[in-house]
Amino acid sequence: MLVEESNDVATIIDTDGTITYVIPAVTRILGYDPNELVGHSGYEFVHPDDWGRNADAVEAVL
């Protein structure tokens, strides 16, 4: 299976949380064109109830 055919929305973010890449499958899965997301903070697309858990996961990776 190619990553572009995945049912997951794989993204690459920089150390500030800015999206630098998102797989093209995001259009099929969430309806966004990848260019709509690149350059934005990933946190803009996370539900506020999940911010803490998401931030903890990003911090663990960094």
- 62 or 34, which is more confident: 34
Question: What residue ranges define each of the domains in the chain, with the CATH number in brackets?
Answer: 3-61 (3.30.450.20)
| Cβ atoms 21, 4 nearer than 8 A | no
The string of DSSP codes covering the chain is: --GGG-SS--EEE-TTSBEEEE-THHHHHHS--HHHHTTSBGGGGS-GGGHHHHHHHHHHH-
Please determine, for residue 2, whether its predicted confidence score (pLDDT) is greater than 70.
no
The pLDDT of residue 42: 87
Q: What pLDDT digit, counting tens, does each position of 3-53 carry?
A: 667 778 889 999 888 999 999 999 999 999 999 999 999 889 899 999 999
| Cβ atoms 21, 42 nearer than 8 A | no
The pLDDT of residue 26: 93
